[in-house]
């Protein structure tokens, strides 16, 4: 095959490839050059039979090389076209955000409460949610005719069997099993027959502490709780102890923290009180110590209990207790 013919064919091919913008245009080129009937290469091959055998072999080989080359260049052009059509990938861009789970705010607060007390030498204990009258009331110096039982509207499962109304029942279970010195905290779900509103829920969580050993006094109670309240809130707090009544402690107190909105000056968010009540506490009643076989002449103790939801609401500025139960991710994802 004369060199000029090859060169001409190559030039034509280059021109065709440069102009081809679509797969269809490339296919047309393929037919034009390699088509069986009237492809340009076949035109050349058809002339082979007129050549002397020596030249025929040479031209035949050249034609085959040319055919392979044309096929290669068409394939290259097709790949280039496809690459241009695909969107460009920018490997420096950040990937799509990964959705991760979040701990429930009550889990976060609960763990923090436990951790603060563990650092002060308290151990963690648990007790059952299904309780008996004895552990929930009687052993805690709250006999059945006691008016304090009315305050706890109780879910009864069977006579004498109930859903615990507070975690104080765990105090009894621990003291029955363990000898003083006892320093424990517990955390868990409680139940009361309360109608649901922004600040009440038939199920909620309490955090409870108990310390019993020789010489424990109200001063220890104040010291431990002051330290705890300063640690748990992310803002400076003043604390206030006011006299209160619980059947299982004597004396008893309620503890408030200065309102974080008005710093105890009084504002609508603290009901113009200056303080927010956060927990109940007191010195363990001698009758409670006797009920578990401790000698109230030898050991004394203090105890305290609080609503975990309430602590979380004050800590995070949450206005409605129902948010804790709804599992709305728009709420939950704000805590980590």
Closest separation in Å from C-beta 227 to ligand DAH = 17
Backbone dihedral region of 108: left (phi > 0), alpha (psi from -120 to 50 degrees) or beta?
Answer: alpha
Q: What span, in angstroms and rounded, lies between the C-alpha atoms of 265 and 129?
A: 40
Q: Is 250 annotated as a binding residue?
A: yes
Residue 275 binding ligand DAH, by CB under 6 A: no
Using CB under 6 A as the binding rule, whether residue 255 contacts ligand DAH is answered as no
Kindly write out the interface string for residues 3-42 of this chain, putting x where it contacts ligand DAH by CB under 6 A and - elsewhere: ----------------------------------------
Report DSSP state, residue 100: -
Nearest Cα to 304, choosing from 234, 228, 231? Answer: 228
CB of 254 to ligand DAH, least distance (A): 8
In the complex, what is the shortest distance from the CB of residue 336 to ligand DAH, in angstroms, rounded to a whole number? 30
Q: Which is nearer to ligand DAH, 26 or 182 (CB)?
A: 182
Judge if the upstream peptide bond of residue 181 is cis by omega within 30 degrees of 0: yes
Question: Do 302 and 216 touch, CB atoms closer than 8 A?
Answer: yes
Task: Determine the interface stretch with ligand DAH among 60-68, 220-228, 277-285, 315-323 (rule: CB under 6 A).
Answer: 277-285
Sequence-distant (6+) residues with CB within 8 A of 228 are 116, 117, 120
Report the DSSP beta bridge partners of residue 243: 253
Q: Does 303 bind ligand DAH (CB under 6 A)?
A: yes
The SS3 of residue 304 is strand
Please state the closest distance from residue 316 (CB atom) to ligand DAH, in A. 22
- Window 115-174: residues binding ligand DAH (CB under 6 A): 166, 168
Nearer to ligand DAH, 247 or 260 (CB): 247
Query: Exactly one of 66, 280, 300, 310 binds ligand DAH (CB under 6 A); which one?
Result: 280
What residue is closest to ligand DAH based on CB? 305
| Least separation in angstroms between CB 285 and ligand DAH | 9
Asked whether position 205 contacts ligand DAH by CB under 6 A, the answer is no
Q: Does 324 help bind ligand DAH (rule: CB under 6 A)?
A: no
How many Cα atoms are found within 13 Å in the side-chain-facing hemisphere of 166?
26
Question: Does 309 contact ligand DAH by CB under 6 A?
Answer: no
Three-state DSSP state, 261: coil
Rounded Cα gap, residues 61 and 270, in angstroms: 99
Q: Is 317 left (phi over 0), alpha (psi -120 to 50) or beta?
A: left
Region label for 211, one of left (φ > 0), alpha (ψ between -120 and 50) or beta (otherwise): beta
Number of residues this chain uses to bind ligand DAH (CB under 6 A): 11
- 282 belongs to the binding site for ligand DAH (CB under 6 A): yes
Binding status of residue 247 toward ligand DAH by CB under 6 A = no
**Smallest gap from residue 137 Cβ to ligand DAH (A):** 11
Q: Among candidates 92, 105, 61, which has minimal Cα distance to 327? A: 105
How much of the chain is in helix, strand and coil states, percent to nearest 5?
45, 20, 35
Confirm or reject binding of residue 208 to ligand DAH (CB under 6 A). yes
Nearer to ligand DAH, 33 or 248 (CB): 248
Which is nearer to ligand DAH, 33 or 117 (by Cβ)?
A: 117
Q: In terms of Cα–Cα distance, which of 76, 312, 73 is closest to 201?
A: 312
| Whether the Cβ atoms of residue 112 and residue 232 lie closer than 8 Å to each other | yes
In the complex, least distance from residue 174 CB atom to ligand DAH, rounded to whole angstroms: 12
Per the annotation, binding residues for Mg(2+) are 250
Q: Name the residues that contact ligand DAH, by CB under 6 A.
A: 166, 168, 208, 246, 249, 280-282, 303-305
């Amino acid at each position: 095959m004369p060199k000029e013919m090859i060169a001409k064919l190559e030039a034509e091919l280059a021109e065709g490839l440069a102009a081809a913008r679509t797969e269809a245009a490339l296919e047309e080129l393929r037919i034009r050059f390699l088509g069986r009937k009237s492809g340009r290469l076949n035109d050349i091959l058809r002339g082979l039979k007129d050549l002397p055998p020596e030249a025929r072999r040479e031209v035949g080989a050249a034609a085959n090389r040319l055919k392979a080359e044309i096929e290669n260049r068409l394939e290259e052009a097709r790949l280039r076209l496809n690459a241009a059509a695909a969107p460009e990938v920018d490997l420096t861009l950040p990937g799509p955000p990964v959705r991760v789970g979040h701990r429930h705010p009550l889990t976060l607060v609960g763990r923090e409460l436990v951790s603060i007390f563990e650092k002060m030498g308290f151990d963690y204990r648990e007790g059952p949610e299904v309780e008996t009258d004895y552990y929930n009331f009687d052993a805690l110096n709250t006999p059945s005719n006691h008016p304090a039982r009315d305050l706890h509207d109780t879910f009864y499962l069977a006579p004498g069997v109930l859903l615990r109304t507070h975690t104080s029942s765990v105090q009894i279970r621990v003291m029955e099993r363990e000898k003083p010195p006892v320093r424990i905290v517990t955390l868990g779900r409680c139940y009361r027959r309360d109608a649901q509103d922004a600040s009440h829920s038939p199920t909620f969580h309490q955090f409870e502490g108990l310390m019993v050993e020789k010489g424990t006094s109200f001063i220890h109670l104040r010291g431990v709780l002051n330290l705890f309240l300063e640690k748990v809130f992310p803002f400076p707090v003043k604390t206030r102890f006011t006299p209160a009544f619980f059947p299982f402690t004597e004396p008893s107190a309620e503890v408030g923290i200065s309102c974080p909105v008005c710093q105890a000056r009084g504002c609508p968010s603290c009901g113009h009180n200056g303080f927010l009540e956060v927990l109940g506490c007191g010195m363990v009643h001698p009758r409670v110590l006797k009920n578990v076989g401790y000698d109230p002449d030898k050991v004394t103790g203090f105890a305290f209990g609080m609503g975990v939801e309430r602590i979380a609401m004050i800590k995070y500025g949450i206005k409605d207790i129902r948010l804790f139960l709804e599992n709305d991710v728009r709420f939950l994802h704000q805590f980590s």
